[in-house]
Amino acid sequence: MISIRLKDGSQREYPEGISLLQVAEDISPKLAKNAMAAVFNGKISDLNSQVKEDGCLELLDFEDERAREVYRHSSAHVMAQAVKRLWPESKLAIGPAIDKGFYYDFDSGHTFTPEDFAAIEEEMKRIIKADYPIVRKELSREEALQFFSEHSEDYKLELIEDLPEDAVISTYQQGEFVDLCAGPHLPSTGRLKAIKVMSLAGAYWRGSEKNPMLQRVYATSFPKKSMLDDYLQKLEEAKKRDHRRLGRELGLFVVLDEGPGFPFFLPKGMVLRNELENFWREEHRKAGYQEIRTPIILSRELWERSGHWDHYKDNMYFTTIDEGDYAIKPMNCPGGLLVYKQNLHSYKELPLRMGEMGLVHRHEMSGVLHGLMRVRAFTQDDAHIFMLPEQIIDEIKGVMDLVDRFYSLFGFPYHVELSTKPEKAMGSDEIWEVATNALIKALEERGMEYKVNEGDGAFYGPKIDFHLQDSLDRTWQCGTIQLDFQMPEKFDLTYVGEDGGKHRPVMIHRVIYGSIERFIGILTEHFGGAFPLWLAPVQVRVLPITQRSQDYARQVVTELEQAGIRVEADFRSEKIGYKIREGQLQKIPYLLVLGDREAEEGTVSVRHRKEGDLGAKLLEEFKQTIVKEIKDKVL
């Protein structure tokens, strides 16, 4: 018998060799039905795996990211099987799960088109209905090479040849279909429910232009049709909310051919941007930050000293000044370090918090540029905190509190990820361990759950990333906290300690918006252009019904302007219904309709963007209401 401890702490005994699926069925048939994979003794496994030792078991359903990956990777195998049935000469490349879906790359004599999607989906449904067991088999290197050679799967042969000599090589079979795969997978194809083939793209084998161009078929899958329908509906909604279209229609921003990757902000976009920056400055002043500004161009020697030249030069722009080499800054931190060095600091001054709205430039390939989401020039809301070693935990928690204040204000839920030492990194393993443990301690003291991304830290230190979730259930990595022991060493930063000697401070790099431009793009799509009142470029539009009410309309505009409200009037000789529709299309929060009665009584007829007609209100009453709503930053 073997002993299995469950996630709730309970313990059960089973005969050796029982499968994880059988264990799940014994615990609860419903649990077994919903389970897609398991974690046994820390390793994610197929439910069909047999248990031969004592251990801890966690069963994963679709709510868990790891289970979703298993579900969609199994879906990719089903799609590949369908394509092989329909076009047998197609050769298999790779088919991973990705965020919200999966893809498979094929080398096929058939050119796929959207007209093929229905046939692929129907064949996938037949495979799902057949409910083939998905069976894992381990092979020797020779067996694997022989099998895929006999089936003319050249890309699989290349993958096998590149595996380490001691690698475990496995295949998964469902019906007649066999694929090279490490797994894990669902127990059978019948576990899949709702599938949808989405789109096509070209992709070089292994991402190299020297290799063949393959055909990539994208798709998605969910365990319920209602979940698929909801996802597809949100995709349609995302198209309507595309920030590039809304930016132009609402007069916020444009990206022009004359400056690819370099956005232009229009007057209304500048209002939105300035409100975000004003709020940032106000909150940072309250949190004890001082604002600085550093140059856009700095010498090559500085970038070599900071390590950016070695780790980042492919993404930098360069220039020559007076026969010397200079670079346009891709990051703000070296400038912040130079500001710190301008004075001799005492331990009594620390922590020293310095914030900067710093314009940076990074070279991006033209193919990845995307509105405000991926640009070549953007403003980071950077801050650098210089502190004593014993202040690290409190300062990290302070940044977490500030991030929470910002994201909560905009209605963004978020989750946290911890990234550890990358392959190319500065500094010793010991320093990295100290820094990583400090981040972990801060997260645990604040009671925050987090996911670990091994090897994904910055080259100078581990980091905590904040991933916010928008109204369409998409996630965006915006805020970050990076703990750095390296830069203070490289730039010889010191402070005078209590003992009168010189000591090395520790440094935090952090952003909250991340990039102002990208954050505006996210906000535009999150709110569909209907920004909260305090952010709206135009907060009120006054709509006189006739020429007789235009003088009163001007009076209303003046009073609202004097109260600090952003207001404009539509004096065009159009019908009032047309003016109202125009105001609604411009997503203006409040429309004030003014006729003869309103002029006589000193009232305004109020139409709210969401709530519709609110009826007549005294102008003074409306003004007080809206001023309070702006001040309270109501969503």
The catalytic site residues sit at: 333, 362, 380, 382, 384, 463, 509
Q: What is the DSSP letter of 594?
A: E
Please report, to the nearest 10 degrees, the dihedral formed by the alpha carbons of residues 228, 229, 234, 240 taken in order.
130
The answer to whether the CB of 471 falls within 8 A of the CB of 490 is no
Q: Which of 57, 20, 53, 45 is nearest to 170 (CA)?
A: 45
Contact criterion met (CB below 8 Å) for 604 and 592: yes
Which candidate, 423, 434, 417, 416, places its Cα nearest to that of 506? 434
**Residue 65 CB: number of other CB atoms within 10 A?**
11
Q: Which amino acid is at 99?
A: D
The residue among 529, 463, 264 whose CA lies nearest residue 375 is 264
How many Cβ atoms sit within 10 Å of the Cβ of residue 159? 17
Question: What does the alpha-carbon distance between residue 529 and residue 485 come to, in Å, rounded to a whole number?
Answer: 42
User: Cα torsion at 489, 495, 501, 502 (round to 10°)?
Assistant: 20
Phi, psi (deg, nearest 5) at residue 298:
-140, 160
Alpha-helical segments (H) within 410-534:
429-445, 486-490, 516-526
Phi, psi of 28 (to 5 degrees): -170, 125
CA distance 294 to 283: 21
* First-to-final CA distance of the chain: 58
| Residue among 77, 105, 49 at smallest CA distance from 181 | 77
